[in-house]
Amino acid sequence: MAFGSVLITGASTGIGEGTAHHLKEVGFDVVGAVRRPEDAERLRSAGLRTVMLEVTDLESIAAAGAALGDGPLAGLVNNAGIAVAGPLEFLPLEQLRRQLEVNLIGQVAVIQRFLASLRAGRGRIVNVSSIGGRVALPLLGAYSMSKFGLEGMSDSLRRELRPQGVDVVVRCAASGNREHRTSAGHRAARGGRDHRSRAHGQAPARPLRRRQGRETARADGGGAARSGDGPAHRASVAPLACGPAGPSPP
């Protein structure tokens, strides 16, 4: 029996694709959101459902919502993201706006559209961050702005939705280009021993799972992620992610 449906944005490569395959293997009904028809066809050939979705386009998000319907969701993995590099002194403002639109505002737009389904399924929102949301490095100011913002948004949203039975979790991915991590992502998502990002020779830190200060998560009978150590514990981007995303909810 499936644990429930999970929508994953940015599912065409890397973390998103690896997570999609892993969730399917452990029994979730996975919908991979992609932007290119060729990516959708490739994922479908691997047995995954797909939907076309561009996180910066409200009409695209609405169309994806209409295609999927209003049934309950066990999870939403906000993985879509880009990295804009350059010194802030000379960074064109349109590039800064694009960075924030994709990595922050687009994530909020997707959450807003699918929150009713997540509420119905008592599901979990997993926002994929990175070390850029913890440490701001030179030439990556725009990227860090987006990831610091994502983590702040997630902390607020966690407190807003907790009384309604919806978890909000941040998973901190290892550094590196997502497309360069496709093979490593598959190994990690499928439980392989080598969880390193080969492109950068860096192993992600051990993931921490939080709910009311605890570090475990599971799936209940309806597919919603809850405390324990069942499949959703491993499925919520856990093999690909690192430590806590901020203070525990009060």
Please report the DSSP string for 120-161 in residue order.
HTT-EEEEEEEGGGT---TT-HHHHHHHHHHHHHHHHHHHHH
Residue 174 has a pLDDT of 65
Q: What are phi and psi of 65, to 5 degrees?
A: -60, -40
Query: Beta strand pairing status for 5-9 and 75-78?
Result: parallel
Domains of the chain, with CATH numbers?
A: 5-240 (3.40.50.720)
Determine whether 68 is an active site residue.
Answer: no
Residue with tokens 């919502």: 65
Q: Is the dihedral of CA 122, 233, 108, 59 positive or negative?
A: negative
> Which residue of the set 3, 28, 114, 143 is catalytic?
143
* Dist. CA 181–CA 177, nearest whole Å: 7
Tens of pLDDT along the chain (250 residues)? 468 999 999 999 999 999 999 999 999 999 999 999 999 999 999 999 999 999 999 999 999 999 999 999 999 999 999 999 999 999 999 999 999 999 999 999 999 999 999 999 999 999 999 999 999 999 999 999 999 999 999 999 999 999 999 999 999 986 444 443 333 333 333 333 333 232 333 333 333 233 333 322 222 223 333 333 333 333 444 433 333 333 333 3
